[in-house]
Amino acid sequence: MSDPSETFTVKSSRSLTEPRAVRWLLTGLALGFLTLFLVIPLVFVFVQALAKGFSTYWTAIIEPDALAAVRLTLIAAAISVPLNLVFGVAASWAIAKFNFRGKALLITLIDLPFSVSPVIAGIIFILLFGRQGWLGPWLAAHDIKIIFAVPGIVLATIFITFPFVARELIPLMQAQGSEEEEAALVLGATGWQTFRRVTLPNVIWGLLYGVILCNARAMGEFGAVSVVSGHIRGLTNTLPLHVEILYNEYNFAAAFAVASLLALLALFTLAAKTIVESKIRHHPGKTTGKTEG
């Protein structure tokens, strides 16, 4: 860029901005709000967790019930995230690239878990699979336990995290259109080759972003899981439920210690999300690259 245009840019940006006092006020307000509602609580979690020393902290974490909760949380996420990944890719591929009857209905259904309260989601599963529920007698007859057991928790988690991947991919795929897929087909590619070599690489970072958010929610979900879990220590407690139990027993140090695990997960998610976001921005597919010639 040449000098004259640069001075022009600087001048125009100065004339477009607010007085110094207003800028400081707005920035200060935003930062103050962030500190009050996000930073202080997060710091407080770690301060409380370590309030009675590191050994207390460590004991709370390696205690068998806590470890069982970690294991169950990991299992629920390990099942629900891949399932939602497959479903999300399939649904968004269908919605973005094809026209079919009931498309609008499908989009609405995918959004349902976002609009329904998690508690209601949990109750739906109780009404379906609980002892007094629709399928209860049949399940009891075949000795299958869903409610107050691991399958119920996995089901509730899948339901809650249902929209994450699809919601991320649908707008991305719609924006990209289907011309590249058509080009691949004309060049002789099969459907699978087209998907693997054209569609998937174009959405890979968006997909990863959706998976990260999906995973964070799967591990942190409380409401729906709480309803179907039954809170059996060491058996059907996920991490968030375990934190609640410890807190209700006035075992604050242990509660915050376990909570700090979830907070760490959140921080890790945040970092991963930032990295993926920057990848999306620098991906050659986005039109930020310089055009020459």
Partner 1 sequence: MGIKVENITKHFGGYTALNGVDLDVHEGELVALLGPSGSGKTTLLRIIAGLEAPDSGSIYFYGEETTHRRVRERKVGFVFQHYALFRHMTVFDNIAFGLTIKPRCERPDKSHIQKRVNELLHLIQLENMADRYPSQLSGGQRQRVALARALATEPKVLLLDEPFGALDAKVRHELRRWLRRLHDEIHVTSIFVTHDQEEALEVADRVVVMNQAQIEQIGTPEDVYENPATPFVFNFLGKVNLFHCRDGEGNPHKGPDGKTVGYVRPSDIHIFRDAETPDDLSAEVILIQSAGALPCIELKRDDNGAMVQVEIPRERYRALQLNVGEKVFIRPQNIRTFQTE
Residues that bind partner 1 (CB under 8 A): 179-180, 182-190, 193, 197-198, 201-202, 283-293
Please tell me whether residue 135 adopts helix, strand or coil conformation: coil
> Counting beta carbons within 10 angstroms of the beta carbon of residue 17, is it exposed (0 to 12), middle (13 to 18) or buried (19 or more)?
exposed
Question: Of 143 and 179, which has the nearer Cβ to partner 1?
Answer: 179
Query: What single DSSP character describes residue 87?
Result: H
Q: Scanning the structure block, which residue is given the tokens 């399932």?
A: 83
- Least separation in angstroms between residue 172's CB and partner 1 is 12
- Least separation in angstroms between residue 214's CB and partner 1 is 23
- Least separation in angstroms between residue 169's CB and partner 1 is 16
- Least separation in angstroms between residue 282's CB and partner 1 is 11
- Least separation in angstroms between residue 181's CB and partner 1 is 9
Question: Of 131 and 197, which has the nearer Cβ to partner 1?
Answer: 197
Q: State the Cα–Cα distance between residues 217 and 208, nearest whole angstrom.
A: 14
> Counting beta carbons within 10 angstroms of the beta carbon of residue 10, is it exposed (0 to 12), middle (13 to 18) or buried (19 or more)?
exposed
- C-alpha closest to that of 223 among 71, 117, 80: 117
Question: Of 28 and 201, which has the nearer Cβ to partner 1?
Answer: 201
Question: Of 86 and 183, which has the nearer Cβ to partner 1?
Answer: 183
Question: How many angstroms separate the Cα of 201 from the Cα of each of 17, 251, 285?
Answer: 40, 48, 9
Question: Of 143 and 292, which has the nearer Cβ to partner 1?
Answer: 292
